[in-house]
Structure 1
């Protein structure tokens, strides 16, 4: 499969994303990032040098075998370009650097809402209302809504299995044992991880914290997981069952990445993310991520 068909393309002068392409993240592996005349350059394993326009990128996703200098991190931060550390082809999302922001209005609003039990449950209800538009959630507790969501997802899994005529015995994933899962679960795991990385970079760039959630808690990135549930049905779940038939039993990371990339672009995910966060938090507080 040609590199151009990957979600995270090999970096060449020809493949660098342009602003008009609405491609706000770049995946790098097996090379190093350095500074050259106050701009970041990428040096791959063959010593090819490619300047990176970080001012036009929302995030750099750094995969295995990647090193980055202190000056390169500083320059990326100054350009409001997030730096995330991920597994190969973003199969695992490890960490993200914090970005300095012009002000803390968005973070302050997020904290105020989360610290007020009444306002926090209102935010959670707005998130669940996106998935249950016809349900009366006014008097529902968080636990009751989470139970509704669990049932919805189980029903969705089964409906997609029947739609695409794929065998399904339930969601399963053992950390560190990706290959032991069946094909559908492998696709779900990899696309979920890629989604978390993209959303985390967007949340950071708008000055919010991924650690302050309204539904999830006790996990590393609760706000990211809250938001991911708004998009998983189309970006991850439907795609996983669709590709299971197409791949005929064998996981192909290039085809999975290409299909996921296409759906992310069609959804215009980061533009939608800014609007959705503002809606979920009850006002126009979000600053749109750089496109």
Structure 2
């Protein structure tokens, strides 16, 4: 913002780093998504018009003040581009539109594994093995492995706080009261929500369901949370403490978006997620 005017940056293909064969996401707020001559265009609150390369986008994150036409949704679905509804600057993840897929083989495989107690535990164990490569998890129950994970994350918070010289009083987040959190917790909340949006769109595109998990249960998006825990250490936790130091304690959402994007690109997240899901679900034996 400058003198009360919103900075408008034109979105072009050249301005978006590419991940695999698609760009990961674009965040939009306060405007309208519609169709013009079979192409998707974005009209912002100041009258600017941007044509979006919908066929090369993995997901659209729609923030506050947005509206979308039926034809725009239909065109996005045909291009296999997910649409997610999020809070301001992706701080909260609300919902995602389902995408059509060529068949239901992946969904059937996911459901078969999740409904088989032994197979489901094997998939969960494979997920935990990624975080505990040197531990013997063969005889561990799901509850025991979740306890190990809780201890690991708490220790990781402390280690990162010490590494970057940042004060840490624990993970704190109050829904709809984002401003009450300290800078590190604000970054964590925003980065987590952005990660959930990317993973949700990737999972839908592959024909899986975000609602069928192997570790998390009783939550809106258990499979998303299962997978997110594989990447949070680098994409969210390390970023939060590193950025707190870079921001000198003053939350800067634009710098956060830039640094988060850089890490997503650097680790080639969409390609990694695709390979990880395929590999992890092969661990479930029936």
TM-score range, shorter chain: over 0.9
Check the 8 A contact 1:54/1:81 in 2, yes or no.
yes
Partner of 2:32 in structure 1?
A: 32
Partner residue in 2 for 1:58: 58
Q: Structure 1's 11 and 105: CA in aligned 2 closer, same or farther, altered over 3 A?
A: farther
1:234-245 matched pairs, under 5 angstroms: 234-245=234-245
Preserved contact between residue 23 and residue 265 of structure 1 (Cα < 8 Å): no
> Quick one: structure 1 residues 20 and 231, their matched pair in 2 at CA, closer, same or farther if it must change by over 3 Å?
closer
Q: Is the 8 A contact 1:18 1:56 kept in 2?
A: no
> Does residue 225 of structure 1 match 2:225?
yes
Residues 1:176 and 2:176 are matched in the alignment:
yes
Say if 2:11 is the partner of 1:12: yes
Q: Does the aligned pair in 1 maintain the 2:13–2:53 contact within 8 Å?
A: no
Q: Is contact 1:106–1:206 with CA below 8 Å preserved after alignment?
A: yes
User: Could you say which residue in structure 2 is the equivalent of 1:93?
Assistant: 93
Larger deviation, residues 173-182 vs 13-22? 13-22
- What TM-score do you get using the length of structure 2 for normalisation? 0.92
Change (3 A) 1:97 1:20: closer
Whether the 8 Å CA contact 1:93–1:196 is kept in 2: the answer is: yes
Counterpart residue number, 1:204: 204
Long gaps (5+) in structure 2: 3-7
TM norm structure 1: 0.91
**Structure 2 matches for 1:142-221, cutoff 5 A?**
142-221=142-221
Is contact 2:212–2:222 with CA below 8 Å preserved after alignment? yes
Task: Assess if the C-alpha contact under 8 Å between 2:213 and 2:226 holds in 1.
Answer: yes
143-152 or 10-19, which deviates more: 10-19
Mapped partners of 1:92, 1:175: distance in 2: 9
Q: Check whether the contact 1:10–1:28 (CA below 8 A) recurs between aligned residues.
A: no
Q: Structure 2 CA distance, aligned partners of 1:83 and 1:20?
A: 18
How big is the shift at 1:125? 0.3
| Separation (CA, whole Å) in 2 of partners of 1:185 and 1:129 | 27
Q: Which residue of 2 aligns with 1:114?
A: 114
Alpha carbons 1:19, 1:56 under 8 Å: kept: no
1:286 — aligned with what?
none
Q: Which runs of no fewer than 5 residues in structure 1 stay unpaired?
A: 3-8, 284-291
Contact preservation (8 Å) 2:19, 2:270: no
SS of 2:61's partner is strand
Q: What SS does the aligned partner of 2:230 have?
A: coil
Partner of 1:67: 67
Q: Distance in 2 between matches of 1:133 and 1:10?
A: 44
> Alpha-carbon deviations, 1:62-118, whole Å to 9, x = none?
111111100110111011110001111111111100001010111010000000000
| Displacement after TM superposition at 1:183 (Å) | 1.1
Q: Distance in 1 between matches of 2:115 and 2:15?
A: 42
Residue equivalent to 1:137: 137
SS of 1:230's equivalent? helix
Equivalent-residue separation in structure 1 for 2:209 and 2:9 (angstroms): 30
Task: Indicate the residue corresponding to 1:269 in structure 2.
Answer: 269
